[in-house]
Structure 1
Amino acid sequence: MSEFPAYDEVHVISDIHMGGKPGFQILRETQRLANYIRWVAAQRPEGRVALVLNGDVFDTLAEDIRGYVAVDEATATLTRIMDDKSFSGIWEALADFVKKKGRTLVIVIGNHDIEVSFPSVQRLILSRLAGEDLLARARIEFSTTGAGHTCLVGNARVFCTHGNEVDAWNYNRYEDLAKVARRLNAGRSLEPSEWYPNAGTRMVKEVMNEVKRRYAWIDLLKPETSAAVGTLVVLDPSQAAKINSLLSILGERQRGSGQVDQRLSAEGFQPRQATGAPAITVDQLLGPNVSAGIQGGGPAGAQTADDMLLAAEKGFKQPGARATPANETLGTGGLIWDRLTGWITGVGKDEALRRALKDWLADDKTFDITDQDDTYKQVTASVGASTDFIVTGHTHLERAIDMGGSRYYFNSGTWIRLMRFSDAMLKDAASFKPVYEALTDGGMETIDKAKFGGESFVMDQASAVSISLEDGKVVGRLTHIEGDGTGKPRVIEQFARP
């Protein structure tokens, strides 16, 4: 008997992000997803097929919960999501899936659905999908300790993990999640103040969610740590006050860096310099055009945005510090407010945003499926050579990379909408004007309908990864699910392992 489950086919999707009320939801293709689940269920009728939901299945950060994690209201929150008519069809399809012999559903924890680690939530999901059917319940597995899911397809070892395990912004403290579960089982609660979130969670809850109420599309922008943050500051300079939050959020990101090293390895922690990702600064987040505006176009060697923020923070925290416009109005953000709004007023908000986007997207490889991004580098460095296929998610950016030696890496992308700025859109003020108008409208419906140069603003790209045994070879594919989801997925890239 193998120590790992063996399948004829494994299908992996991630970053579904079911959550939020209408108008606050970023998953659109729900019927397509339900039909795709049924398509997977119909494969290899006499064989063994697994469907892996590889993290961020739910998005509790889009829900109205107390604090940063739903504890007492965890089951109520997930029940609301599953009952929402936007998502209920997906759960009906999953229930049909686990009723079929030879099917296995694996749910891997992400960083937007950490409540799945709680026993009460797992019991809720089991009950919703399988009721009292013990065979159906046995076909559902959870991976919530950061270990991912390992299985075999033919002679190939497959490892699926969300990918936030190596992300200093969004790491999960699995040990603390286990403590919460022990409290809940013991009839105790957790005060919101007791849970200190990671930097990514703070960014979503403290910054992005408020902005999302005005600009519903902000979650769709990539890369999120530069384009999204900078865009919100340029579109609405009053959000410069959020820079105050960014200082502590960036600090938490740096603390997180010390916890993610070798998280996937059994060897324990290694020195930061050996495996760590580089620090991210406010200047990097905002880009040279916005940073120059904040600095007032000063000469080379002038204070960076980070220097200014730290100086303001120091003065603001000093006991008995004299009140000034900088700390009286926005705390650490007052000086930045003055300079940023002056810069935007000088060039025009639309032109300021166009210039900033050109900064952030210069030499951008966001949508290059062969780009060896940080998630690829850090996950592959942490996974043993005996693993033949590695599948992640988390970044929302699909990847298909031949690692050499008959080993392959995939990122299963996402099912939520993604926005993509083309060079033609950013070419000049005239070409950017209709784009700017669509952005400032703020509504998701406007973004969904927008087309520029005959090209849709929102990418219609629902991604999946499949790994299957075919004629003695194990074939891995990155695919797109199109139309209503009932047809065979379109192959984007494939690798065959002998």
Structure 2
Amino acid sequence: MRTLILSDLHLGNGGDYDVFAGGEALPALLDLIAREPARVVINGDGIDFLMNEDPLELDRARAAAQARAIVAAPESAAVLRALGRVLARGGEVIIRLGNHDVELAVPEVQEILRAAMEQPPPVAARLAFQLGDAPAILDVGGARILVTHGEHSDNWNKVDYGRLARLDRFRYAAGSVLVKQLMNPIARRHGLRFVSLLKPDFQGAALAALAVAPGIVKQLFSAASLDIAWQLFKKAGSAASFAEEEEDLGLAERFAEAGLGAEEAAAVEATLGDGPAAFADEEAMSTASVKLARAGLKLYAGVQRRLAGTLGDAYFRLEPDEAEWADAQRLARKFDAGAVVIGHTHAARWKAADGLVFANTGTWIWLMQLPRSDAGDEAWAEFIDELRQNPRLLPEKQRTARTLQRFTAVLLDAHEDGGAAMGLVHWDHGELRSLGAARVPPASAAR
């Protein structure tokens, strides 16, 4: 049975928060894969329960209401019906939990998703849900393929599965709280939709928003009872008596990376302080905005490893960084796996070396194209100005701040020589294109 692994679809309720980009592409891919019985694994964050304004509490009735809104959205409904067709044709569908869809642990939510597949109950009942408290180990041709969402090494977004069995005791990760309290209002109430595309990097999104609309960021931090000035300007190891109880969000370190001069830092502080913003030096604030945008988007650009083409299209290098590769090696050793597949970072990755095959399945949300890494301040200033003029990233108004998609997944087949044929594939206008391929030997041969 062929296996398709995807992650980070972020299916939503069709509202202002939605970032899913594969409404037509994903059902088409699923139908192609399911021409013969196939196994489909959604490896975390397949559904997004954070993209709404409901209180952040794991409540059965609220989770069920959110699920009903999601399955009613046309694009989400089309994907779920396509997954139902996978089951109807004799296949398997496994949905694993991630940090944006812990509500999938609620039985009522699971039944709503099963019903949305529009299949007879015996068929829909075969839809399986898995927690992410341990990796899944798939056997393909005798090869051991480890599958995990990947938030296990991200302290901001790590799911507390120990408390998930008791819904009234569950506490959301800090990253989820920040999405609700700060990123959602920035994206929806104030129209800065671009910050939702910078997942899962809260610090980068906050600084990018600060570069575009400092007044809005100040307002939202105040509403969340957080002192933005303290968060940005505190020195490591220093004590601020007025903020002793305030959680450090890690913004000061990112702010320092921007390399602002004394006048630029003073302009930012004047803009965010309690005094009149008119005292801020406009020229210094303008150059500070460029540096803040660069610093805020640095991790996003680094994770996506963007390389601008001659026509301005974006391409991505697939090589994982040292930390990604080291974590994959650690997981492979611990669980005796020949391949490791993760998601979470939204960055497609591929590497086959030293007896290990590693892939990150990327994401099916919109991506944002940034200026070239060697672009000058003028290009970045133009980019920031366009974000101010087109904060919702309306397609007809895009010039330099453009959105794009790259629909990637992992495909597994039994290899004719034993083990698994594993590939990272790109669904490109109705065709599957290979981005990387390797054989994963059977576990016995690997030893």
- Taking structure 2 as the reference length, what is the TM-score of the superposition? 0.80
* Rounded Cα–Cα distance in structure 2 between residues aligned with 1:151 and 1:123: 25
Which 5+ residue runs of structure 2 have no aligned equivalent? 229-247, 306-316, 442-447
Residue 209 (structure 1) aligned with residue 184 (structure 2): yes
Corresponding residue for 2:122? 134
C-alpha displacement at 1:360, in angstroms?
A: 4.8
How far residue 378 of structure 1 moved from its aligned partner, in angstroms, is 3.4
Matched residue pairs, number? 403
How has the CA–CA distance of structure 1 residues 343 and 231 changed in structure 2, closer, same or farther, with 3 Å as cutoff? Answer: farther
Among residues 414, 417, 427, which one is paired with 2:363 in the alignment? 414
The residue aligned with 1:391 is 341
Tell me which of 25, 36, 44 is aligned to 2:18. Answer: 25
1:93 Cα offset (Å): 0.9
In structure 1, distance between residues paired with 2:259 and 2:59: 36
Residues 294 and 347 (structure 1), Cα distance of their counterparts in 2 relative to 1, 3 Å cut: closer
Q: Which residue is equivalent to 2:236?
A: none
| SS of 2:166 mapped into structure 1 | helix
Within 1, Cα distance between the matches of 2:361 and 2:276? Answer: 41
Q: Percent identity?
A: 21
In structure 2, what residue type is equivalent to 1:30? G
Corresponding residue of 1:157: 144
Alpha-carbon displacement from aligned partner over 1:184-207 (angstroms, at most 9, x marks no partner): xxxxxx4xxx65421101110011
Does 1:282 find its partner at 2:234?
no
Instruction: Report the Cα distance in structure 2 between the residues aligned to 1:339 and 1:294, rounded to whole angstroms.
Output: 17
* Amino acid of the structure 2 residue aligned with 1:285: R
Aligned-partner Cα distance in 2 for 1:38–1:116: 24
Which residue does the alignment assign to 2:233? none
The answer as to 2:412 corresponding to 1:467 is yes
Kindly indicate whether the alpha-carbon contact (under 8 Å) linking 1:70 and 1:77 is maintained by their aligned counterparts in 2: no
Partner SS, residue 29 of structure 1:
coil
Distance 1:400 1:173 in 2: 29
1:201-224 per-residue CA deviation (whole Å, 9 max, x = no partner) reads 111001100100120121113672
> Measured at CA, do residues 53 and 66 of structure 1 come closer, stay the same or move farther in structure 2, by a change above 3 Å?
same
Instruction: Mark the CA change 1:365 to 1:386 in structure 2 (over 3 Å): closer, same or farther.
Output: same
For 1:54-453, what aligned pairs fall within 5 Å after superposition?
54-101=43-90, 103-129=91-117, 131-138=119-126, 140-180=127-167, 190=168, 196-213=171-188, 214-221=191-198, 224-238=201-215, 239-240=217-218, 242=220, 281-289=250-258, 296=265, 335=273, 345-349=282-286, 351-360=287-296, 365-366=302-303, 367=305, 368-372=317-321, 374-383=323-332, 384=334, 386-405=336-355, 407-423=356-372, 426-429=375-378, 431-446=379-394, 450-452=398-400
Distance, in Å, in 1 between the alignment partners of 2:375 and 2:57 is 37
Matched residue type, 2:27: A
In 2, distance between residues paired with 1:415 and 1:38?
17
Q: Per-residue CA shift, 1:336-378, capped at 9, x if unaligned?
A: x6699866723344x4332223345669632242122645533
RMSD: 3.3
Task: Tell me the equivalent position of 2:428.
Answer: 482
Q: 1:13 aligns with which of 6, 11, 15?
A: 6
Deviation at 1:291, TM superposition (A): 6.0
Q: 2: CA distance between counterparts of 1:76 and 1:477? A: 38
Structure 1 unaligned residues grouped into runs of 5+: 1-7, 181-189, 250-278, 299-304, 309-325, 327-332
- Residue 284 of structure 1 deviates from its aligned partner by 2.2
When residues 339 and 358 of structure 1 are mapped into structure 2, their CA distance, relative to the original with a 3 A threshold, is farther
Displacement of 1:122: 1.8
